[in-house]
Structure 1
């Protein structure tokens, strides 16, 4: 049984249309993620500017939030600091053969 060329061509067009839909969905999701990240970065910059302008300490900022959120904020600061500075390993001991 042979299929007419028309059916095969329609099948290819439908596959191309599905591929296009998948690409559009992926690009929309990526755009949404970028918007969320940029919004978070903007909020972070505004927050840091306010903190600097009013000379707030970490204690002031933490006490402003409920206790659970304050603890989460402190934990995030600690993890950021740990990620920013890689740990130094021990220097190998040099043994001289005298």
Structure 2
């Protein structure tokens, strides 16, 4: 069991390092580029998501392992968002017009 806890500890340390890198990048971006707040937040979120997924793959963690890191309420909300994404119906396109006289 200590091997699993050690992997979790390393995972948490790497997440903390990523958070620090993201914070550093965002402060550098503010001083070098003038972006809207919404664009900066989206790009930071996308980078964080990609880095997080890479960490998850590297440590071969399951969704249950990842959810266990969060407080119970956040874990439940995360699972609900995953379920909602899976159950979301795709957009329907327009139906083609029928000629009206098929006989």
Task: Report the TM range for the smaller structure's normalisation.
Answer: 0.5 to 0.7
Q: How many residues align?
A: 58
Runs of 4 or more above 2 Å deviation: none
Structure number with higher relative contact order (C-alpha < 8 Å, ≥ 6 residues apart): 2
Q: Where do 5+ consecutive residues of structure 1 fail to align? A: 1-27, 88-98
Report the TM-score when normalising by structure 1: 0.53
Report the TM-score when normalising by structure 2: 0.50
Q: Distance in 2 between matches of 1:64 and 1:51?
A: 12
1:63 Cα offset (Å): 0.8
Q: Where do 5+ consecutive residues of structure 2 fail to align? A: 1-33, 92-103
Question: Radius of gyration: which is bigger?
Answer: 1
**Alignment RMSD:** 2.0
2:18 alignment partner in structure 1: none
1:54 Cα offset (Å): 0.3
